[in-house]
Amino acid sequence: MSENALETIFRTQMAAYADCDVEALIATFTDDCVLVDMADVDHPFVGTDAVRGFLVDYFAALRHVVVDVTMVATGTDSVIGELDVTANYVGAPFTEQTPRPIRLRYCVAEEIRDGGVSSERFYWDSADLERQLTVV
């Protein structure tokens, strides 16, 4: 695929991420995709049903998501992207009425096959999120 086509797939994903649109995100993956949260590498999500379940749970705690793509690099069949994400966290102990603003920084590595994401690994600082959610 061309570099432009690879970047378009990535940016389509990030727009769906900002919209918390699970089905639009799922549409960018291959049926046999593997999604790995590198903060929990021993528990990959394999196949679109597993990825969908992860995304539904992930987005349940977020509102007003803004995704700033700070860098994208492409290879023959791969994309590396860097994200700066802000959102309101509404998971316990926070609520819709008392959300906690959070900021997440990700590095995402994707392999593309047949026009879809066949493998995605995302790297982030889970301890940073824990600090942001600490109630003092």
Q: Name the percent of the chain lying above pLDDT 70.
A: 100
Q: Reply yes or no on whether the pLDDT at 122 is more than 90.
A: yes
| CATH 3.10.450.50 is right for the domain spanning 3-133 | yes
d(CA 50, CA 127): 24
| Mean pLDDT computed over 2-26 | 96
Candidates 74, 71, 93; CA nearest to 82 is 71
Q: Write out the two tokens for 121.
A: 């690994």
d(CA 109, CA 122): 6
Predicted local confidence at residue 45, as pLDDT: 99
More confident position, 53 or 2: 53
Task: pLDDT band for 126, please (50, 70, 90 cuts).
Answer: very high
* Proportion of the chain in helix, strand, coil states, percent, rounded to 5: 35, 45, 25
Q: Reply yes or no on whether the pLDDT at 3 is more than 90.
A: no
Task: pLDDT band for 25, please (50, 70, 90 cuts).
Answer: very high
* Per-residue model confidence as pLDDT tens digits over 62-117: 999 999 999 999 999 999 999 999 999 999 999 999 999 999 999 999 999 999 99
Q: Reply yes or no on whether the pLDDT at 46 is more than 80.
A: yes
